[in-house]
């Protein structure tokens, strides 16, 4: 994650830009990992940074803090933010909590817990806002892979075209695929369907993050998926435009890439065909950190469709 330059550098710039809110103040880094954000805060002049980290990477964080001669300023606290005891309340909370599609395996609930327990009234949260976007896309690679079954007869003399429908069901399933969406495959301006204000959102509200969308296609194409991505915004102390960490396909790639939701059948659109609907993101019943996405959508004159998506359990796949 540190090698994700867009991610790490945006946090660095945001922390340095907010140095007026950080200088001489007490900071809590929720899920500090190697301590990189804690050290940025110390470099921005924090009086004290509590680097709270649940996992054993906390041991490396201690070493890194030492190596940078910041033992007096950055204190690594091993434990979950829900269980650790800090000696004081904090002026600033910083955290890199975002997961795939923003909320998959995200630790936002832990940040909210920390906010409610440890942030002083009027304190600052970095980042302070998250937004979710959706756009219809055409994934030509998926279509090419499916079309392959029509080419087998020419290649090997066996007609396997009956595999097409079966393969389509397998590929266009209800898994959320994390993939890089290329700009050419995006078929309309993305639509924002949800905004999360970190100062006010509650854990209860995160149980159903939803909103409506309306897109209009750029031109003739076949919609075979939606792409979902997010941005997070850092407050700006002065009149400078706020700093945005974006995972849009129109921006430089990050390790979050984009979440791709494949539809059953491709639907042809022409210029200005409306693509409308509603998205609801909610935690799965099996694990509160696993996200499900429900999309109701209408493309042009087609009848309303509904599809539920979830992220497959990759850990189970790798164990097999
Ligand atoms: C995405 S990493 C970010 C690490 C680091 N802040 C960075 O920007 O490179 C999130 C970290 O949060 C830790 N974490 C997750 N839940 C936590 C919790 N409830 N309390 C403390 N740490 C937690 C994980 O172990 C992981 O190291």
**Residue 84: CB within 6 Å of ligand 1?**
no
Coil/strand/helix, residue 125:
strand
Domain for residue 102, yes or no?
Answer: no
184 and 277 belong to one structural domain: yes
122 falls within a domain: no
CATH of the domain at 196: 2.70.160.11
Do 312 and 173 share a structural domain?
yes
Domain co-membership, 223 together with 283? yes
Ligand 1 pocket, 14 CB below 6 A? no
8 A C-beta contact, residue 135 and residue 189: yes
Is there a domain that residue 233 lies in? yes
CA triplet 106, 33, 110: central angle to 5 degrees? 35
159 and 301 fall within a common domain: yes
Kindly state whether residues 183 and 60 are assigned to the same domain. no
Task: State the distance from the centre of ligand 1 to the C-alpha of 107, rounded, in angstroms.
Answer: 8
Domain that holds residue 144: 130-319
274 in any annotated domain: yes
Cβ 26 vs Cβ 94: under 8 Å: no
Binding site membership of 110 for ligand 1 (Cβ less than 6 Å): yes
Q: What is the pLDDT, as a whole number, of residue 173?
A: 87
- Å from CA of 121 to ligand 1 middle: 24
**Within a domain: residue 104?**
no
Count up the domains in the chain and report the number: 2
Q: How far is the CA of 20 from the centre of ligand 1 (A)?
A: 25
pLDDT tens-place string over residues 168-201: 888 888 899 999 999 999 999 999 999 999 999 9
CATH code (residue 11):
3.40.50.150
Mutate to test the pocket of ligand 1, among 14, 94, 107 (most ligand atoms within 8 A of CB): 107
Q: Is 36 in the pocket of ligand 1 (CB under 6 A)?
A: yes
The pTM assigned to this predicted structure is 0.94
Is 246 a member of any domain? Answer: yes
Residue 90 sits in the same domain as residue 176: no
For 82-121, the pLDDT digits (tens) are: 999 999 999 999 999 999 999 998 899 999 999 999 999 9
Whether 169 and 259 have beta carbons less than 8 Å apart is answered as no
Output the residue whose Cα is nearest ligand 1's atom 27: 33
Residues 57 and 200 in one domain: no
3-state SS, one letter per residue, for 260-307: EEEEEEEEEECCCCEEEEEEEEEECCCCCCCEEEEEEEEECCCCCEEE
- Residues 173 and 255 grouped into a single domain: yes
The answer to whether the CB of 32 is under 6 A from ligand 1 is: yes
pLDDT above 70 (res 203): yes
């Amino acid at each position: 994650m540190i090698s994700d330059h867009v991610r790490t550098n945006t946090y660095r710039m945001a922390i340095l830009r907010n140095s007026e809110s950080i200088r001489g103040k007490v900071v809590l880094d929720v899920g500090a990992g190697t301590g990189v954000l804690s050290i940025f805060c110390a470099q921005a002049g924090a009086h004290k940074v509590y680097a709270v980290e649940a996992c054993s990477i906390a041991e490396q964080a201690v070493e890194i803090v030492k190596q940078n001669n910041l033992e007096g300023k950055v204190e690594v606290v091993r434990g979950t933010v829900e269980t650790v005891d800090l000696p004081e309340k904090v002026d600033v909370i910083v955290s890199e909590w975002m997961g795939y599609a923003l909320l998959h395996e995200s630790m936002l609930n832990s940040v909210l817990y920390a906010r409610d327990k440890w942030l002083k009234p009027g304190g600052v949260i970095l980042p302070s806002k998250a937004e979710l976007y959706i756009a219809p896309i055409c994934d030509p690679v998926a279509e090419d892979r499916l079309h392959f079954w029509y080419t087998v007869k020419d290649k090997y003399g066996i007609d396997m075209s009956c595999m097409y429908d079966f393969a389509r069901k397998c590929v266009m399933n209800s898994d959320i695929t994390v993939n890089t969406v290329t700009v050419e495959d995006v078929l309309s301006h993305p639509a924002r369907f949800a905004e999360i204000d970190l100062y006010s959102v509650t854990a209860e509200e995160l149980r159903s993050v939803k909103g409506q969308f309306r897109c209009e296609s750029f031109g003739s194409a076949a919609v075979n998926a939606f792409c979902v991505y997010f941005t997070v915004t850092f407050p700006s102390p002065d009149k400078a435009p706020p700093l945005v960490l974006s995972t849009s396909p129109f921006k430089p790639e990050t390790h979050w890439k984009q979440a791709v939701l494949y539809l059953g059948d491709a639907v042809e659109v022409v210029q200005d065909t409306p693509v409308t609907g509603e998205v609801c993101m909610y935690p799965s019943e099996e694990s509160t950190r696993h996200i499900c996405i429900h999309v109701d959508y209408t493309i042009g004159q087609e009848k309303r469709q509904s599809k539920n998506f979830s992220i497959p359990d990759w850990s189970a796949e790798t164990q097999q």
